[in-house]
């Protein structure tokens, strides 16, 4: 993995106001999913769980961003 990312790093960046935009935050979240798919074989439990979590994230993200745009 050339660009590692984890939730602890994201939480730290949030606490320290290190995100200049919501897009930067989203990019870090999506990097976690990309790394998951690179590291874990298709069909493996972790790959499947990553897909499920990404699907849930996408649903919630779309709902929350939709509310902010209105």
Domain boundaries, the chain: 7-65
Among 1.10.645.10, 3.30.565.10, 3.40.710.10, 1.20.920.10, name the CATH number for the domain at 7-65: 1.20.920.10
CA proximity to 25, closest of 37, 35, 11, 36: 11
The structure's pTM equals: 0.89
Q: What is the pLDDT of residues 31-45, one digit of tens each?
A: 999 999 999 999 999
C-alpha angle 33-35-38 in degrees, rounded to nearest 5 = 115
> For residue 20, what pLDDT band results from cuts at 50, 70 and 90?
very high
pLDDT tens digits for range 2-17: 999 999 999 999 999 9
The rounded Cα 21 to chain-centroid distance in angstroms is 15
% of the chain exceeding 90 in pLDDT: 89
Q: Which of 54, 11, 58 is nearest to 36 (CA)?
A: 54
Tell me which residue of 15, 25, 34, 31 sits closest to 64, measured CA to CA: 25
């Amino acid at each position: 993995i050339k660009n590692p990312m984890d939730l602890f790093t994201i939480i730290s960046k949030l606490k320290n106001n290190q995100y200049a935009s919501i897009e930067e935050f989203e990019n870090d979240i999506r990097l976690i999913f990309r790394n998951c798919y690179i590291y874990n074989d298709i069909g493996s439990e972790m790959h499947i769980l990553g897909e499920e979590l990404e699907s849930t994230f996408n649903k919630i993200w779309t709902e929350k961003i939709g509310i902010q745009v209105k």
